[in-house]
């Protein structure tokens, strides 16, 4: 009797209800991967993603999580394990995409401590400890992708605190790759440039002057689109890229070259 076909791979994507996280979820589903996503507060958007992926013939589930609240991670892990078992018939998962993040701008002279702390909580501390919490559930041979930013390479006014958190993510990723190597788990950073989403109030998407400014400093002559990022992440998670590890890959169309 032939062996049963292997279970579809499962990805966990934080911040999956909108923007780059949503695009990544759809791109992975198009490649036959089932998706568990997190959302912060907009259940309507979250449910619409589940419906969209189901129409593609893949399984999906969306779980509420504030990735900046470490105290919520124990309960989230329990819910996540229950969802893996009941919806996906799995006790582990294959891909972790740490996408959720916030952007708060301000000059060094005016940055408020509470805003700085919120950036650290969501963009850095949350990523670190959520990954730690989920390490026992990631399948050996799995993958981790952490989202950084082009701003960790080049400097723009008012973005120092945000960029610091993303620089920390890039260092964290290299250490993940080193420590998880014995388990065959790779870890890489994807660093988007300026993308037309609602991130940061949707300025790049909705402000023509801001959009032109991005286009002017980009070799390919335009701002980025979500479709420039999600498929790239899906490609990086494919077996074709199994030997890419501990790397920072900027996806900016050639910004500030």
135: pLDDT strictly greater than 90 = yes
Torsion, CA 86, CA 130, CA 114, CA 175, rounded to 10: -160
Q: Is residue 3 part of a domain?
A: no
Query: CA–CA distance from 72 to each of 17, 35, 114, 133 (Å)?
Result: 19, 21, 20, 11
Give the mean model confidence (pLDDT) for residues 133-146: 98
Query: CA–CA distance from 208 to each of 201, 202, 225, 226 (Å)?
Result: 14, 11, 15, 18
162, 178, 238, 252: the active-site residue: 162
**Residue span of the structural domain in which 79 resides:** 10-251
How many domains, the chain? 1
The pLDDT value given to residue 126: 98
**DSSP assignment of 158-172:** T-HHHHHHHHHHHHH
Query: CA–CA distance from 182 to each of 92, 137, 141 (Å)?
Result: 18, 15, 9
200: pLDDT strictly greater than 80 = no
Q: Is the dihedral of CA 40, 10, 250, 222 positive or negative?
A: negative
Residue 178 annotated to the active site: no
Residue 148 annotated to the active site: yes
Q: Is residue 203 part of a domain?
A: yes
The pLDDT value given to residue 4: 56
Q: How confident is the model at residue 117 (pLDDT cuts 50, 70, 90)?
A: very high
Q: Where are the beta strands (DSSP E) in the chain?
A: 10-13, 34-39, 60-64, 93-98, 138-147, 186-192, 248-251
149, 155, 213, 238: the active-site residue: 149
1: pLDDT strictly greater than 70 = no
Q: How confident is the model at residue 250 (pLDDT cuts 50, 70, 90)?
A: very high
Average pLDDT, the chain: 96
Q: Is residue 153 part of a domain?
A: yes
209: pLDDT strictly greater than 70 = yes
Q: How confident is the model at residue 42 (pLDDT cuts 50, 70, 90)?
A: very high
Q: How far apart are CA 167 and CA 151, in angstroms?
A: 9
The pLDDT value given to residue 5: 63
Contact predicate 35/16, CB 8 Å: yes
17, 27, 148, 252: the active-site residue: 148
Q: How far apart are CA 18 and CA 102, in angstroms?
A: 13
Q: Is the dihedral of CA 235, 237, 242, 246 positive or negative?
A: positive
Q: Is residue 113 part of a domain?
A: yes
Quote the distance between the C-alpha of residue 185 and its chain's center. 17
HSE-CB of 202 using CA atoms within 13 angstroms: 5
The pLDDT value given to residue 138: 98
Please name which of 125, 104, 126, 107 lies closest in space to residue 115, comparing C-alpha atoms.
Answer: 104
Residue 149 annotated to the active site: yes
Note the pTM of the prediction, 2 decimals: 0.96
Residue 160 annotated to the active site: no
pLDDT digits (tens, 9 = 90+) for 140-174: 999 999 999 999 999 999 999 999 999 999 999 99
85, 166, 175, 178: the active-site residue: 166
CATH code for position 94: 3.40.50.720
Q: Is residue 159 part of a domain?
A: yes
Q: How confident is the model at residue 203 (pLDDT cuts 50, 70, 90)?
A: confident
């Amino acid at each position: 009797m032939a062996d049963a076909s292997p279970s579809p791979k499962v990805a966990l994507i934080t911040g999956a209800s909108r923007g780059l996280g949503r695009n990544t979820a759809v791109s992975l589903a198009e490649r036959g991967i089932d998706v568990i996503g997190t959302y912060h507060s907009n259940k309507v958007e979250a449910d619409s993603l589940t419906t969209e992926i189901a129409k593609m013939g893949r399984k999906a589930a969306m779980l509420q999580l504030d990735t900046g609240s470490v105290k919520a991670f124990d309960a989230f892990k329990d819910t996540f394990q229950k969802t893996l078992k009941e919806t996906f018939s799995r006790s582990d998962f294959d891909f972790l995409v740490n996408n959720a993040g916030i952007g708060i701008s301000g000059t060094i002279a005016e940055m408020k401590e509470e805003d700085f702390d919120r950036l650290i909580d969501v963009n850095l501390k949350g990523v670190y400890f959520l990954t730690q919490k989920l390490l026992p559930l990631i399948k050996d041979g799995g993958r981790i992708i952490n989202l950084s930013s082009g701003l960790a390479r080049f400097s723009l006014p008012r973005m120092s605190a945000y960029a610091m958190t993303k620089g920390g993510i890039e260092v964290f990723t290299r250490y993940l790759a080193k420590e998880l190597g014995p388990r065959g788990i790779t870890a890489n950073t994807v660093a988007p440039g300026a993308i037309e989403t609602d991130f940061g109030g949707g300025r790049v998407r909705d402000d023509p002057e801001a959009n032109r400014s991005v286009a002017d400093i980009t070799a390919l002559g335009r701002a980025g689109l979500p479709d420039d990022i999600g498929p790239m992440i899906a490609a990086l998670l494919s077996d074709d890229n199994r030997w890419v590890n501990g790397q920072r890959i900027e996806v900016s169309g050639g910004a500030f070259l």
